[in-house]
Amino acid sequence: MLLIDCPYCGPRSEIEFRCGGESHVQRPGPHDAASDEQWADYLFYRHNPKGEHRERWLHMAGCGQWFNVARDTVTHKITAIYRMGETIDAGAGS
Protein backbone atom coordinates (compact mmCIF):
# COMPACT_ATOMS: atom_id res chain seq x y z
CA MET A 1 0.00 0.00 0.00
CA LEU A 2 1.41 3.38 -1.00
CA LEU A 3 1.03 6.50 1.12
CA ILE A 4 0.57 9.31 -1.39
CA ASP A 5 1.02 12.91 -0.29
CA CYS A 6 -1.82 14.71 -2.11
CA PRO A 7 -0.76 18.35 -2.65
CA TYR A 8 -4.13 19.47 -1.28
CA CYS A 9 -5.22 16.84 1.27
CA GLY A 10 -1.91 15.61 2.66
CA PRO A 11 -0.79 11.99 3.06
CA ARG A 12 -3.55 9.53 2.13
CA SER A 13 -3.88 5.86 1.44
CA GLU A 14 -3.40 4.57 -2.11
CA ILE A 15 -6.96 3.20 -2.27
CA GLU A 16 -8.32 6.77 -2.43
CA PHE A 17 -6.40 7.40 -5.69
CA ARG A 18 -6.49 6.30 -9.33
CA CYS A 19 -3.40 6.26 -11.52
CA GLY A 20 -3.91 8.06 -14.83
CA GLY A 21 -0.80 6.76 -16.59
CA GLU A 22 2.20 8.62 -17.91
CA SER A 23 2.23 12.37 -17.46
CA HIS A 24 3.60 15.14 -19.69
CA VAL A 25 2.35 13.46 -22.88
CA GLN A 26 2.30 16.22 -25.49
CA ARG A 27 -0.40 16.28 -28.16
CA PRO A 28 1.23 16.67 -31.59
CA GLY A 29 0.18 19.63 -33.64
CA PRO A 30 -0.97 21.57 -35.45
CA HIS A 31 -3.36 18.72 -36.23
CA ASP A 32 -3.07 18.98 -40.02
CA ALA A 33 0.71 18.71 -39.77
CA ALA A 34 0.80 15.66 -37.46
CA SER A 35 1.77 12.45 -39.22
CA ASP A 36 0.00 9.15 -38.64
CA GLU A 37 3.07 7.93 -36.75
CA GLN A 38 3.06 10.97 -34.45
CA TRP A 39 -0.67 10.59 -33.82
CA ALA A 40 -0.40 6.85 -33.12
CA ASP A 41 2.51 7.51 -30.79
CA TYR A 42 0.44 10.12 -28.94
CA LEU A 43 -2.60 7.86 -28.65
CA PHE A 44 -1.14 4.42 -28.03
CA TYR A 45 2.54 4.39 -27.09
CA ARG A 46 3.82 5.05 -23.60
CA HIS A 47 7.15 4.73 -21.85
CA ASN A 48 7.54 1.71 -19.60
CA PRO A 49 10.76 2.45 -17.73
CA LYS A 50 12.39 0.32 -15.09
CA GLY A 51 13.11 3.10 -12.63
CA GLU A 52 11.72 6.62 -12.22
CA HIS A 53 8.42 7.22 -14.00
CA ARG A 54 6.35 10.39 -14.12
CA GLU A 55 2.66 9.62 -13.65
CA ARG A 56 -0.64 11.45 -13.31
CA TRP A 57 -2.71 10.52 -10.26
CA LEU A 58 -6.28 11.49 -9.36
CA HIS A 59 -7.41 11.86 -5.76
CA MET A 60 -10.72 10.28 -6.62
CA ALA A 61 -12.18 9.71 -3.14
CA GLY A 62 -10.74 12.97 -1.80
CA CYS A 63 -10.41 16.41 -3.35
CA GLY A 64 -10.91 15.18 -6.93
CA GLN A 65 -7.74 16.90 -8.16
CA TRP A 66 -5.14 15.60 -10.62
CA PHE A 67 -1.44 15.92 -9.84
CA ASN A 68 1.90 14.45 -10.92
CA VAL A 69 3.93 11.79 -9.15
CA ALA A 70 7.53 10.70 -9.81
CA ARG A 71 7.60 7.04 -8.76
CA ASP A 72 10.20 4.33 -9.08
CA THR A 73 8.54 1.40 -10.85
CA VAL A 74 10.87 -1.10 -9.18
CA THR A 75 10.79 0.04 -5.56
CA HIS A 76 7.52 2.05 -5.66
CA LYS A 77 9.38 4.83 -3.86
CA ILE A 78 7.77 8.20 -4.58
CA THR A 79 10.49 10.79 -5.07
CA ALA A 80 8.43 13.87 -5.99
CA ILE A 81 4.84 15.07 -6.10
CA TYR A 82 3.95 18.24 -7.96
CA ARG A 83 0.84 19.98 -9.24
CA MET A 84 -0.51 19.97 -12.77
CA GLY A 85 1.23 22.57 -14.93
CA GLU A 86 4.43 22.26 -12.92
CA THR A 87 7.56 20.39 -13.99
CA ILE A 88 10.60 19.05 -12.18
CA ASP A 89 14.05 18.20 -13.47
CA ALA A 90 14.83 14.56 -14.21
CA GLY A 91 15.75 12.83 -10.97
CA ALA A 92 15.03 16.00 -8.97
CA GLY A 93 13.20 14.12 -6.27
CA SER A 94 15.72 11.36 -5.81
Partner 1 sequence: MPDPQILLARAPSPAAGFVRPTLALEIEDIALAKLRVHGPDADGRFASITGNAPPPLRRQVVQNDLTFVWLAPGEWLICGGEEAVAAWLAQSDLRDDEAALALDITHGRTAFVLTGSDARDVLAAHCPLDLWDKSFRVDDVARSLLGDTTMVIARLADLDGAPRFRIVVDQSMAAYAARVLARG
Binding site for partner 1 (CB under 8 A): 8-10, 12-13, 15-16, 61-65
Our CB check for partner 1 shows the closer of 65 and 79 to be: 65
Q: How far apart are CA 87 and CA 6, in angstroms?
A: 16
Our CB check for partner 1 shows the closer of 13 and 38 to be: 13
b/e code 10-46 from CB counts within 10 Å (16+ = b): eebeeeebeeeeebeeeeeeeeeeeeeeeeeeeeeee
In the complex, what is the shortest distance from the CB of residue 69 to partner 1, in angstroms, rounded to a whole number?
A: 18
Our CB check for partner 1 shows the closer of 12 and 56 to be: 12
Contact of 60 with 76, CB cutoff 8 Å: no
In the complex, what is the shortest distance from the CB of residue 80 to partner 1, in angstroms, rounded to a whole number?
A: 20
In the complex, what is the shortest distance from the CB of residue 9 to partner 1, in angstroms, rounded to a whole number?
A: 6
